Amino acid sequence: MSKRELGIDEKPKGIQAIRALPDKALGALWDSIIIEKSLKDQLLSQAVLNFTLRSKVPRTVVPLHGVIMLTGVPGTGKTSLARGLAHRVATAFPGGRFRLLEVEPHSLASAAHGKTQRAVTDLFASAIAEAALADPVIVLLDEVETLAADRAKLSMDANPVDVHRATDAVLVQLDALAEAHQNLLFVATSNFPQAVDSAFLSRCDLILEVPLPGREACADILKDCLTGLGRAYPAIGKLALAPELAAVAEACVGLDGRAIRKMVANALAANPDIAMNPERVTMDNILAAARAARAARVKGAGA
Ligand SMILES: Nc1ncnc2c1ncn2[C@@H]1O[C@H](COP(=O)(O)OP(=O)(O)OP(=O)(O)O)[C@@H](O)[C@H]1O
Ligand SMILES: [Mg+2]
């Protein structure tokens, strides 16, 4: 299948995907992440404000950079929320012709000195700036610690000067874009914010920590997962209403959302018979898988 048939535009170096918004698939991602409504509201409000306020209020009054950062341990839904946010912002401005650009930070890194800095500058000053000239743009900077590494923690021996310069270039470009393009929003994610340069963090308009799910959220994620499986296997869907669900949710506390969904898949692989006939899974299988996932996590954390 050609790139065009797959819905992927021709992309400049460093950009992994360009999507027209709104995009219902991204809306489904937003809905699939179960966190407190107040957090989703705060995230969406800050993103919407970016597009209402910045074109009207000078940066000498409110120095917004158009950068939102999501932090949190792996598997808590940061990337899903960032993509979903792009869809939700676009639906808040009907007819706004928003686009989502997804940056691929690893493709920018280059062993040759000076190349990364150059690639970063090209990406921000050319590709992103040009896109933002035409229509409102949301840029996903996933795993931003690769792009804006903390210069204070980089050892000159282990990390070539190139990495320092790449961070410098990101900061220079963010300042330039903030001045020139009010219809631009960066949504960055990191599960390692200690590794992100403090000058980058200082440029963020909002830093939001996406927490591990609490007991109620664990139950809701389980229900969502079982109900989703129920579309293919009706008997599994019925387990979402089982009284044992509360005990399974309790056993999941401490796991992230990704681990909870994977744990359900582990239960479906409890033995070859269930793997062949997933509708034979029981709540006991799921409870055992949840306890095993927790035990593995605790052991991993202690190691
Ligand atoms: N709070 C949650 N509610 C429901 N599903 C969740 C939640 N958190 C994570 N998931 C599920 O976990 C998977 C991983 O989510 P995602 O990739 O967005 O996490 P992430 O925080 O970006 O992880 P990483 O830091 O490893 O990149 C997705 O399938 C998502 O649906
Ligand atoms: Mg992610």
Taking the CA of 83 as reference, the closest ligand is 1
Q: Which atom of ligand 1 is nearest to the CA of 189?
A: 22
Whole-model pTM: value is: 0.93
Q: Which atom of ligand 1 is nearest to the CA of 213?
A: 1
> Quick one: fold of 15-209?
Rossmann fold (3.40.50)
CA 114 to ligand 1 centroid distance, Å: 35
Nearest CA to ligand 1 atom 10: 257
- DSSP letter, residue 194: G
Give the CA distances from residue 8 to residues 12, 127, 172, 235, in Å, rounded to whole numbers and listed in that order.
12, 16, 29, 37
Taking the CA of 84 as reference, the closest ligand is 1
235 Cβ neighbours under 8 A, 6+ residues apart: 279
Q: Is 78 in the pocket of ligand 1 (CB under 6 A)?
A: yes
Cα(9)–Cα(249) distance, rounded to whole angstroms?
42
Q: Is 83 in the pocket of ligand 1 (CB under 6 A)?
A: no
**CATH 3.40.50.300 domain span(s) along the chain:** 15-209
Cβ proximity of 17 and 97 under 8 Å: no
Q: What residues form DSSP beta bridges with 267?
A: none
Q: Is 16 in the pocket of ligand 1 (CB under 6 A)?
A: no
Cα(177)–Cα(128) distance, rounded to whole angstroms?
9
The H-assigned helical ranges of the chain are 24-32, 37-53, 78-92, 105-108, 115-122, 129-134, 161-180, 198-203, 215-230, 234-238, 245-252, 257-268, 272-276, 283-302
Q: Which atom of ligand 1 is nearest to the CA of 210?
A: 21
CA 79 to ligand 1 centroid distance, Å: 7
Q: Is 167 in the pocket of ligand 1 (CB under 6 A)?
A: no
CA 257 to ligand 1 centroid distance, Å: 6
Q: What is the pLDDT of residue 96?
A: 94
CA 225 to ligand 1 centroid distance, Å: 13
Q: What residues form DSSP beta bridges with 71?
A: 190, 209
Give the CA distances from residue 178 to residues 73, 110, 197, 230, 297, in Å, rounded to whole numbers and listed in that order.
29, 26, 18, 47, 41
Residue-level pLDDT, tens digit, the chain, 303 residues: 455 444 445 678 889 999 999 999 999 999 999 999 999 999 999 999 999 999 999 999 999 999 999 999 999 999 999 999 999 999 999 999 999 999 987 777 665 666 888 888 999 999 999 999 989 999 999 999 988 988 888 776 666 677 788 899 999 999 999 999 999 999 999 999 999 999 999 999 999 999 999 999 999 999 999 999 999 999 999 999 999 999 999 999 999 999 999 999 999 999 999 999 999 999 999 999 999 999 999 887 765
Taking the CA of 141 as reference, the closest ligand is 2
What burial class does residue 136 get, using C-beta atoms within 10 Å of its C-beta: 0-12 exposed, 13-18 middle, 19+ buried? buried
- DSSP letter, residue 213: P
Taking the CA of 71 as reference, the closest ligand is 1
Average pLDDT, the chain: 92
CA 55 to ligand 2 centroid distance, Å: 30
